[in-house]
């Protein structure tokens, strides 16, 4: 009896293997996820620090509202849109790999963002802005880790940057209020500045205590920053500007007025006869 040819069996086995591979891929699509901060596979890119020397900084997660993916060329990218396999269905925001085709590096975007946020949100005493992969943000007096996601020394002063404007305004310890406090000028040398909470859930108010030289009986006095007190009144009593008793230009509790009266010795009708 003639032997049966093995070819049909080989073909059938090959087709079965191909079918199993296709089924496996269908049931196990490519995983596209944020790279953990401590992952050994976190993208690392080089850049110049301004001195001309190349330095290395790990940038371990994509900018907000973008997704990490690897394209057909093996480049690590961030997509501002949906990702299908190794394709970005929107615009490519930045790259962890070498820049090409006009695509900026993610580190360049992060550096620009940090500088802008430091200028707008961080107090001078805590100039270094950080942001964790989970979205927690803040400023610190400490240096930052290589990824820029946390202070190197967590015991050094730091402050939170809240996600909404109301919390930034109402939290006396927020970076916004501490930044404003740094910029709040003493009306006399050696004043003591602070952030006050006059009422719960209300914008905080900047204040300072000071001593006036040359008084027969020196005593500490207190005044408030006009801009922050106005923000407080906007929430506390929205109609305050129509009430003459709230005229801040004649309120000796406002630092600008207190300086005119106590330091410059100006006579302002309706103000000088008010004790502070």
Q: What is the pLDDT of residues 54-66, one digit of tens each?
A: 333 444 578 878 8
The domain limits of the chain are 44-104, 122-168, 185-263
Q: What is the pLDDT of residues 197-238, one digit of tens each?
A: 999 999 999 999 999 987 778 889 999 999 999 999 999 999
Q: pTM, whole model, 2 decimals? A: 0.62
Q: What is the pLDDT of residues 80-126, one digit of tens each?
A: 999 998 899 999 999 988 888 889 888 888 778 777 777 778 999 99
Q: What is the pLDDT of residues 28-47, one digit of tens each?
A: 433 333 333 333 333 333 33
Give bridge partners of residue 151 from the DSSP assignment.
Answer: 144
Which among 107, 16, 17 is positioned nearest to 61, based on CA atoms? Answer: 107
- pLDDT of 7 reads 53
Higher pLDDT, 131 or 184: 184
Angle between helix 106-121 and helix 175-183 axes, rounded to 10 deg = 60
């Amino acid at each position: 009896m003639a032997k049966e040819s093995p070819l049909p069996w080989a073909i059938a086995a090959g087709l079965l293997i191909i079918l199993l591979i296709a089924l496996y891929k269908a049931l196990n699509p490519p995983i596209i996820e944020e790279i953990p901060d401590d992952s050994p596979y976190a993208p690392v890119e080089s850049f110049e620090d301004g001195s001309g020397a190349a330095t290395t900084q790990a940038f371990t997660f994509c900018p907000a509202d973008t997704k990490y993916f690897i394209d057909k060329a093996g480049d690590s990218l961030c997509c501002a849109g949906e990702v299908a396999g190794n394709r970005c269905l929107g615009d490519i925001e930045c790259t962890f790999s070498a820049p090409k085709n006009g695509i900026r590096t993610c580190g360049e975007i992060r550096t620009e963002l940090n500088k802008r946020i430091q200028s707008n949100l961080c107090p001078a005493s805590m100039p270094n802005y950080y942001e964790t992969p989970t979205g927690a943000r803040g400023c610190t007096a400490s240096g930052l880790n290589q990824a820029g996601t946390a202070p190197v020394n967590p015991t050094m002063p730091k402050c939170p940057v809240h996600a909404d404007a109301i919390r930034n305004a109402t939290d006396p310890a927020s970076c916004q209020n501490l930044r404003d406090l740094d910029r709040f000028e003493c009306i006399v040398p050696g004043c003591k500045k602070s952030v006050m909470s006059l009422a719960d859930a209300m914008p905080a108010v900047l204040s300072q205590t000071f001593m006036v030289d040359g008084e027969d009986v020196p005593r500490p006095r207190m005044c408030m920053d006009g801009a922050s007190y106005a923000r407080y009144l906007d929430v506390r009593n929205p109609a305050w500007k129509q009430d003459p008793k709230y005229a801040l230009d004649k309120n000796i509790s406002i630092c600008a007025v207190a300086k005119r009266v106590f330091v410059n010795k100006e006579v302002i009708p309706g103000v000088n006869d008010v004790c502070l």
